Amino acid sequence: MADLIVRSLGVQPYLETWEAMKTFTAERHAQVADELWFLEHPRVYTQGQAGKAEHILAPGDIPVIQVDRGGQVTYHGPGQLVVYLMIDLTRKKLGVRGLVDEIEQAIVRTLAGLGVEAAPRSDAPGVYVGASKIASLGLRVRRGCSFHGLALNVDMDMEPFRRINPCGYAGMAMSQVRDFVPAAVMADVQQRLTEQLVSGLGHPEVEFLQGW
């Protein structure tokens, strides 16, 4: 029996996916396999629990949703690879900081495989190429289990980031994989990141599924 299920979900509405994450976490028990959900969202801003309204400058026609993860405001949209990590941290004997480190290093290794040098920063969660942020992180832990996760900018319209202070930082430069690898495609980046997250988290039995 698999101890990790990896789901490729395509484009999914934000609210329904958030509800599914919360339900999965609330109903899981010690024998339930961990899951990674790979997907994209239609255009949406999400504001973390400690989020400040002044960081949302001019959302215009893009909805703003208050959510229960850590962090400030961020943007999700087509061409951004989102991964939600439903991990039983107690079972894995993994702390929140350890999970954040695993996520950041998986992104760093994925980008290195594409020839892009990236690194995390100690003062601001996420992964950066030079001074620009290419991936954002935001997690919630309930009953010893994580949900929410990461967003890696791959090949998207970056304009909506200019309508906010990304992650609460005014003037934060944002970048995407296509800035550095013009031929990058979502499917390849997803495959690479899947491999790095699975190996980094160390689940011996993995099942790959398309859809729910």
Active-site positions read 167
Is residue 94 a contact partner of residue 111, using CB atoms and an 8 Å limit?
no
Q: What residues are paired with 5 via a beta bridge?
A: 35, 207
Q: Which of 80, 77, 97, 81 is nearest to 89 (CA)?
A: 97
Residues comprising the chain, all counted: 212
Distance from CA of residue 146 to its chain's centroid? 12
Burial per residue of 3-29, b for 16 or more beta-carbon CB atoms within 10 angstroms, e otherwise: bbbbbbbeebebeebbebbbebbeebe
E strand residue ranges, 29-165: 34-40, 44-47, 64-66, 73-76, 80-86, 119-121, 124-129, 132-142, 145-153
Cβ neighbourhood burial of 58 (10 Å; 0-12, 13-18, 19+)? exposed
Question: Nearest to residue 86, comparing CAs of 169, 182, 7?
Answer: 7
